[in-house]
């Protein structure tokens, strides 16, 4: 079972090994592999504590040619909080440190890994345009503004078109709905190369559940 789990996670990084479905004990994680994951629970610096666990569901990896490789079985990226700093009168910056250091594979096995966050994304929400309404009296202010309409006696003017209720949304990508960068936060390395620091000078850091994480894998830990 352990060997099966190793093949799965190595296959996520060394795509050719998993695609062939054969063990490859010499396979090594590709340098700077990009992972995409979804945060399982909200993390709030005002409630969290250093050492608290953090989990994210791995959605897949991005190949060098831009192709998407999805895992064949559920993979959970597991980490913990390394730093907490709440904004205060004497502290203008809020900070949240996160380190992801293992992957849970099918069957509950754990595989060590080192991954740092490079980007946080949220689903784009298309703007909604309010629809113009016509008074129940039948008096349409838009029609009055357009002025008198000429035509045969007794004819009714053509109604003016109303704007659509919604604007067309973004086209879905290979990952699903389009996402955009989470605003109001900065992401840096903590200096060790094994943890990311999410900071904000405007508000206390809160990363909502279902936020998308784009991570760079540094390799499997020994």
* 76 found inside a domain: yes
Q: Provide the pLDDT for residue 33.
A: 84
Distances (CA, A) of 131 to 136, 147, 165: 15, 21, 6
Q: What is the CATH number of the domain that holds 110?
A: 2.40.128
- Judge if pTM exceeds 0.85: no
* 20 found inside a domain: no
pLDDT in tens, 8-22: 455 554 433 333 333
pLDDT in tens, 131-184: 655 555 555 555 555 555 555 666 565 554 444 433 333 333 555 666 778 889
What 46-51 contacts at long range (C-beta under 8 Å, 24+ apart), as own/partner pairs, is 46/86, 46/204, 46/206, 48/81, 48/84, 48/96, 49/81, 49/84, 50/81, 50/82, 50/83, 50/84, 51/80, 51/81
Number of domains in the chain: 1
Range of the domain at 202: 32-125+169-219
């Amino acid at each position: 079972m352990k060997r099966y789990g190793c093949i799965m996670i190595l296959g996520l990084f060394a795509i050719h090994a998993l695609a062939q479905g054969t063990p490859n004990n010499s396979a090594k994680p590709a340098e700077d592999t990009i992972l995409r994951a979804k945060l399982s629970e909200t993390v709030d610096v005002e409630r969290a504590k250093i050492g608290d666990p953090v989990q994210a569901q791995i959605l897949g990896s991005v190949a060098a040619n831009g192709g998407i490789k999805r895992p064949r079985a559920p993979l959970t990226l597991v980490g913990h909080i390394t730093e907490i700093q709440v904004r205060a009168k004497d502290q203008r910056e809020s900070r949240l440190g996160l380190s992801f250091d293992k992957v849970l594979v099918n069957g509950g096995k754990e595989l060590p890994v080192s991954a740092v966050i490079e980007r946080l994304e949220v689903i784009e929400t298309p703007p909604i345009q309010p629809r113009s309404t016509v008074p129940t009296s039948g008096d349409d202010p838009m029609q009055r503004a357009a002025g008198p309409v000429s035509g045969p006696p007794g004819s009714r003017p053509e109604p003016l078109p109303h704007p659509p209720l919604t604007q067309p949304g973004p086209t879905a990508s290979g990952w699903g709905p389009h996402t955009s960068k989470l605003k109001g936060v900065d992401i840096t390395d903590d200096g060790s190369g094994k943890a990311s620091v999410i900071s904000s000078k405007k508000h206390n850091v809160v990363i909502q559940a279902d936020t998308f994480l784009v991570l760079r894998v540094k390799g499997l830990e020994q």
